[in-house]
Structures are given as structure tokens and as C-alpha cells.
Amino acid sequence: MTTESRPSQPSESVTFINVFEIAAEDVDAFAEKWEQRAAIMSKKPGFIDTKLHRARASDGRFQLVNVAHWVSQEAWEAATADPGFASRTDAARESKETPATPNTGLYDVVVQFP
């Protein structure tokens, strides 16, 4: 097994993962609004890519998983500090129509296979 150590420089790329606890019947409506927020982020400096994954089983705890890549933690922090983006994520978190609980974190690769 090959392992990589944690990046020693903060400028190395990072992976942002956000798993959402949301009712299966609310996923489609939430995903539409998520796509709008992702479009905003895709224009930010340092953005690499993002994918929103949907659970195959409707009874799973986490119905949606967002995986995004950024060139650095600093780029991600600057992008998420944008007031327009922050207000949209706050609105999503507080939505009565599609209540969702985000579980976020930045991650570094520790094991990789080709």
C-alpha cells in the first residue's frame, strides 16, 4: 500500500467533501438550487471541478454527496467567503421546502491507486 503524507504547503490542492442529510423526496429540488450555487463557485479563482453524487438507495442517511477540488485551501476559503455565495448556502441550510443538513470538510489524499 502506498501512502502520501499530508501536504506540507498550504498551496497544494484540496478536496472539499459535503455530505447532505436530506429526505429522498427533496433531492431533486435541492439539486436544482445546488447547481446554481455550483455555477457561482465554478467561476471563482482556484476552482478545479465538482460533482454532486446521489445515493442509489432512498433510505440512505446521506442522499447527496458533493466532491469538489480546489487548487488550495486558501482559494476555497476565499470563494466560500463571498457574501453572495454565503447567503445562498445559508438560505439552503435554513430552507423549509428542502431541509438539508450539510456535513462539510476539507480533505487531503492519503492513499491513491492509479
* Spans of all domains in the chain: 14-107
Cα 60 from chain centre: 18
Q: Is the pLDDT of residue 7 over 50?
A: no
| pLDDT digits 0-9 by tens, 40-91 | 999 999 999 999 999 999 999 999 999 999 999 999 999 999 888 888 888 8
Q: How many CB atoms lie within 10 A of CB 100?
A: 20
- The answer as to CATH 3.30.70.100 being correct for domain 14-107 is yes
The 8 Å CB, 24+ separation contacts for 75-83 are: 75/44, 75/45, 75/46, 75/47, 76/14, 76/16, 76/46, 76/106, 78/44, 78/45, 78/46, 79/41, 79/44, 79/45, 79/46, 79/47, 82/40, 82/44
Q: Which pTM does this prediction carry?
A: 0.83
Q: Is the pLDDT of residue 4 over 50?
A: no
